[in-house]
Amino acid sequence: MAKNETSDKPAQAPLIEPGHTYGSITDKISSVVTTRKTPISWFIGFAIAFSLLMVFLSSTAYLLMKGTGIWGINVPVSWGFAIINFVWWIGIGHAGTLISAILLLLRQEWRTSINRFAEAMTLFAVAAAGMFPLLHMGRPWLFYWLMPYPNTMAMWPQFRSPLVWDVFAVSTYATVSLLFWYVGLVPDFATLRDRVNNRGAKLVYGMLSMGWRGSAIHWYRYETAYLLLAGLATPLVVSVHTVVSFDFAMGVIPGWHATIFPPYFVAGAIYAGFAMVLTLSIPLRKVYGLEDFITMRHLQNMAKVMLATGLIVVYGYMMEIFTAWYSAGEFEEAMISNRFNGPYKWVFYSLLLCNAVAPQFIWFSKVQNSVIGIFIIAMFVNVGMWLERFIIVVTSLSQDFLPSSWDTYTGTIWDWATYAGTIGLFLTLMFLFLRLLPSISIFEMRTMVVEEDKGGKES
């Protein structure tokens, strides 16, 4: 079906620039890893990312010394940045799973050149996300108390708490994403094993490729395993952020206790995720000259997904306002009026600008054809989705039912340092990934050559 679409619309850009062969694809992608000359831009980027990672290290060390009091959290806003950043990072991860699993099952071939690093992005985003609930616990070394195991306290976790569901949802998500990513990498590890000259690197890639020889039975097993994992990962795209939304929706706080939360959060997650994939892929293709593989069509498709999910999110905003009015509940109404007129109104207006207004420019073909235009909109969405979580967490908590318990909240320098630090963690991992692993699936791109050729002959 996808093939017909390609031939029916001759105007659509190809998924891979013409003139490529099996050899040229393998050379181009693997050379990023096998080259002895690391580009200077990589070093600059890595240095910045690593410095931020050190910021994370210091702020975490200080946190462990002093406790969570160094953050701005207090009663009534006891969640603050930790949960905002957690939801933000987890959301970002979702695009990776959507691209790798759902688009695979839907046979969207354009996913091929972006799935590998989108999956990497998922893993690293989950790693960054995981930091926040752990650190917010105050005694992160006791994290295993969240797991049901026969402990000497004879206690189970509180299974009625959505925070415990979170533990299972996120750890399952991380495990399946890792497996999916790894299984997809195996044939490429073998390619690298055969191409690197360094003995040590040969050994490492050889281990990781698990004796892959590319025989028919290997491919058969690989395809089966990959498809099964895709099937496993598909429900996770929806379930993980649904559970994250339950953290809020199960509470009785005005502005949280809403049935729209699960779909609204899932859409928001995919929205944020695609924005992040665009944010990463645009510089990546530029620096490594991968424009042949990540073409304009990829960027446009991602921008369109971003627009569509963005509209769902805006629908969510409208429903929140509608529900508050329709319910005639005074606390719900007060919550909405607080968003528009309260102490955080400028955050709320910025959120609307970033999430509701900015992506509308994707409707224009001029913007759609501009790499810079798409990049700017993606950046707006990255910021907007963070602001959205800020609004949800802070406005509802800071003014709940009792005016006597109201208080305002701002992040301290340590809140910001920890947040910037996890960006450093994410980017450091990303840079290492770009240098050490093929950031585009080599063997899947090779299959594209054949299919693009066929498409060409038919038209």
Partner 1 sequence: MAQIFHPSMNTFSKVTIFGSVFMIAGALWFFLTVERSSYVTQAKVVREQPVPFSHKHHVADLGIDCRYCHTSVEETAFAGIPPTKTCMTCHSQIHATAGMLEPVRESWRTGKSIEWVRVHDLPDFVYFNHSIHLKKGVACETCHGPVGEMALTWRENSLNMEWCLDCHRDPESNVRPREEVFTLDWHPKTEQAVLGARLVEDYDIQNLTNCSICHR
Binding site residues, partner 1, CB under 8 A: 149-155, 193-194, 202-203, 206-207, 210-211
d(CA 21, CA 448): 10
Taking the least distance from each CB to partner 1, the nearer of 60 and 209 is 209
Smallest gap from Cβ 206 to partner 1, in A, equals: 5
Of 355, 401, 395, nearest to 379 by C-alpha is 355
Taking the least distance from each CB to partner 1, the nearer of 51 and 151 is 151
Of 202, 204, 222, nearest to 212 by C-alpha is 222
Q: What are 396-399's contacts with CB under 8 Å, separation 24+?
A: 396/248, 396/253, 396/254, 396/255, 396/256, 396/335, 397/76, 397/77, 397/78, 397/79, 397/253, 398/76, 398/77, 398/343, 398/344, 399/334, 399/335, 399/338, 399/342
Smallest gap from Cβ 215 to partner 1, in A, equals: 14
Token code pair at residue 436: 């050490």
Taking the least distance from each CB to partner 1, the nearer of 143 and 363 is 143
Of 421, 420, 395, nearest to 409 by C-alpha is 395
Of 420, 443, 436, 441, nearest to 89 by C-alpha is 420
Taking the least distance from each CB to partner 1, the nearer of 152 and 404 is 152
Smallest gap from Cβ 385 to partner 1, in A, equals: 37
Taking the least distance from each CB to partner 1, the nearer of 10 and 150 is 150
Would you give the distance in Å from CA 149 to the centre of its chain? 30
Taking the least distance from each CB to partner 1, the nearer of 57 and 210 is 210
Q: Phi/psi class of residue 139: alpha, beta or left (left: φ > 0; alpha: ψ in -120 to 50)?
A: beta
Smallest gap from Cβ 128 to partner 1, in A, equals: 26
Question: CB of 237 within 8 A of CB of 98?
Answer: yes
Smallest gap from Cβ 211 to partner 1, in A, equals: 7
Question: CB of 255 within 8 A of CB of 392?
Answer: yes
Taking the least distance from each CB to partner 1, the nearer of 51 and 158 is 158
Smallest gap from Cβ 144 to partner 1, in A, equals: 10
Taking the least distance from each CB to partner 1, the nearer of 157 and 343 is 157
d(CA 24, CA 443): 12
